[in-house]
Amino acid sequence: MTSKPILATFLVVAAFAQGGCSKQHPDIHGTDIANDDTNRQILDTVESYRVAVEKHDVKSLMLMASKSYWEDRGTVESADDYGYDGLMKVLSGRFQLASDIRYAMRYDRIRRVCPHGGDLEKGCRAHVDVQIDASYTVNDASGEAIRKDKRDQNELVLEWDGSRWLFVSGM
């Protein structure tokens, strides 16, 4: 009879020991990014962007862009730079030529910078380092469909407008 209480006690102690030894995961699942409300909001916004790209949803993409959006294309040439209106031209032009878009991202890092160095406030920026793995279909000059693959790293920059995160570059 004494074996049941000893076994029960052992199982209870083992369960507590296992729970005490297991580490609460401090990062967002699948990333090395701290798991907090702000980072989750940022990644939710970026994920909405990723899905809108795959769906070819220009309207949603433009709603995610700040009116102060600026893209310098990562070059020293200023001729290829564009703002919010230029983004609309890209999305309604070259972007429309692509079909069957697959757009995957790995989230590597988020660096947040706020004007007063404090918590979330209007004007805070989030710099999100991502690895992109994408493929899409375009027609070549003869009209034949060609499948293209793209792998790249990118920095998405978002700004908190007081109620939501908007892209200011990197789309």
pLDDT tens-digit profile of 11-49? 444 444 444 444 455 888 888 899 999 999 999 999 999
Closest by CA to 110, choosing from 7, 2, 31, 53, is 31
1: pLDDT strictly greater than 70: no
In contact, 154 and 124? CB cutoff 8 Å: no
Enter the tokens of residue 24: 């609460």
What is the structure's pLDDT at 31?
A: 86
| Mean pLDDT across the chain | 87
Which CATH topology does 28-169 take?
A: Nuclear Transport Factor 2; Chain: A, (3.10.450)
pTM (predicted TM-score): 0.80
130 residue type, one letter: V
- What are the angstrom distances between the C-alpha of 17 and each of 12, 24, 98? 9, 14, 55
